[in-house]
A and B are shown apart, each in its own frame.
Chain A
Amino acid sequence: MTRMSVTTPGDDPVLSVNDLKVWYGTPRGAVRAVDGVSFELRKGETLGLVGESGCGKSTLGRGVLGLLPTAAKTAGSVQFQGQELLGASLRELRRLRGPSLGLIFQEPMTRLNPLLRISAHFEETLHTHEPSLTKQQRRRRALDALGSVGIPPTRYDHYPHEFSGGMRQRIMIALVLVLNPAMVVADEPTTALDVLVEAQILRILADIKSNFDTSILLITHNLGIVAEACDRVAVMYAGKIVEQGDAAEVFQDPQHPYTAELLRSTISLSTVELHSIPGAPPDLADPPPGCRFHPRCPSAMRVCATRVPVTVGSSFGHDVACWLHGPAELIPAGGTQPLEREEIARADEA
Chain B
Amino acid sequence: MPTKPDLLDVRDLKVHFALRGGALDRLTGRNSGAVKAVDGVSFSLAPGEVLGVVGESGSGKTTLGRAIVGMAPVTGGTMSFEGREIGSLTGAARRAERRRLQMVFQDPHASLNPSMDLLTAIGHPLRIHGVTKDEDELRVRVSEALERVGLSPVERFLNKFPADLSGGQKQRAVIARAIILGPALLVADEPVSMLDMSVRAKILQLMMDLRDDLGLAYIYITHDLASAKFFCDRIAIMYLGRIVEIGPPEQIYADPRHPYTRALLAAIPDPGVRREVPRDLPRGEVPDAASPPAGCSFHPRCPHAFAVCGWESRDLHQLLEDRWSASEDLFEAERPVLGDLTALETPSYRAPVPAGKGHDGDEVAALLERVRADDPDEPLWRGVERIDVRADAASVGFRTGVDPVLTPSGEVQVACHLFDEYAPLAVEGDGR
Contact = CB atoms under 8 A, between A and B. Distances in A.
A350 B199 contact: yes
A346 B150 contact: yes
B204 A280 contact: no
Interface residues of A, number: 60
A232 B294 CA distance: 45
Given A154-B321, A350-B167, A144 B328 contact: yes
B201 interface: yes
Interface stretch (A118-126, A217-225, A316-324, A331-339): A217-225
Contacts of B205: 274, 276
B327 interface: yes
Contacts of B213: none
B202 A224 contact: no
B324 A199 contact: no
A146 B324 CA distance: 11
Interface stretch (A5-13, A17-25, A190-198): A190-198
A147 to B, nearest CB: 5
B212 to A, nearest CB: 14
B331 A153 contact: yes
A280 B168 contact: yes
B166 A276 contact: no
A269 B325 contact: no
B408 interface: no
A50 to B, nearest CB: 9
B291 to A, nearest CB: 14
A251 B325 contact: no
Nearest to A197: B285
Interface string A142-164: 01101100111111000000001
B140 interface: no
A183 B322 CA distance: 28
B269 A227 contact: yes
Nearest to B323: A152
A274 B204 contact: yes
A271 B253 CA distance: 13
Interface stretch (A61-69, A76-84, A259-267): A259-267
A73 interface: no
Interface residues of B, number: 59
A194 B57 contact: yes
Interface stretch (A89-97, A200-208, A297-305): A200-208
B273 interface: yes
Interface string A252-295: 10000000011101111111001111001000000000000000
Contacts of B133: none
B270 A224 contact: yes
A115 interface: no
B56 A195 contact: yes
A267 B169 CA distance: 20
Nearest to A155: B321
Interface in A44-92: 52-53
Contacts of B322: 150, 152
B325 A53 contact: no
A196 B201 contact: no
Most buried by A among B202, B225, B282: B202
B56 A196 contact: yes
B265 A269 contact: yes
A2 B276 CA distance: 8
B226 A147 contact: no
A154 B341 CA distance: 11
B202 A349 contact: yes
A198 B277 CA distance: 10
B230 interface: yes
B226 A196 contact: no
B225 A269 contact: yes
A53 B56 CA distance: 24
B227 interface: yes
A147 B200 contact: no
A223 B226 CA distance: 14
Contacts of A266: 197, 271
Given A195-B268, A196-B267, A228-B275, A268 B157 contact: no
Contacts of B269: 198-199, 202, 222, 224-225, 227-228
Contact of A274 (B57, B230, B253): B230
Given A346-B150, A349-B168, A199 B281 contact: yes
Contact of A223 (B57, B197, B264, B331): B197
A227 B270 contact: yes
Most buried by A among B275, B282, B326, B328: B328
Interface string B248-266: 0000010000000001110
Contacts of B227: 267
A271 B281 contact: no
Contacts of A143: 328, 331
B430 interface: no
Contacts of A277: 198
B277 A265 contact: no
A151 to B, nearest CB: 6
A166 interface: yes
A229 interface: yes
B277 A53 contact: no
A252 B278 CA distance: 21
A53 to B, nearest CB: 6
A152 B278 contact: no
A123 B235 CA distance: 48
Most buried by B among A147, A152, A248, A350: A350
A150 B321 CA distance: 9
16 contacts: A2-B276, A147-B328, A150-B326, A196-B282, A199-B269, A199-B278, A202-B277, A203-B278, A221-B197, A224-B271, A229-B277, A261-B198, A268-B270, A347-B157, A350-B196, A350-B198
Given A224-B270, A262-B197, 9 more contacts: A52-B197, A153-B331, A203-B281, A222-B197, A267-B201, A271-B229, A280-B166, A347-B157, A349-B150
Interface of A: 2-3, 52-53, 140, 143-144, 146-147, 150-155, 164-167, 194-200, 202-203, 206, 221-229, 248, 251-252, 261-263, 265-271, 274-277, 280, 346-347, 349-350
- Which are the 7 A-B pairs with shortest beta-carbon distances? A224-B269, A350-B168, A152-B321, A152-B325, A194-B56, A276-B201, A223-B271
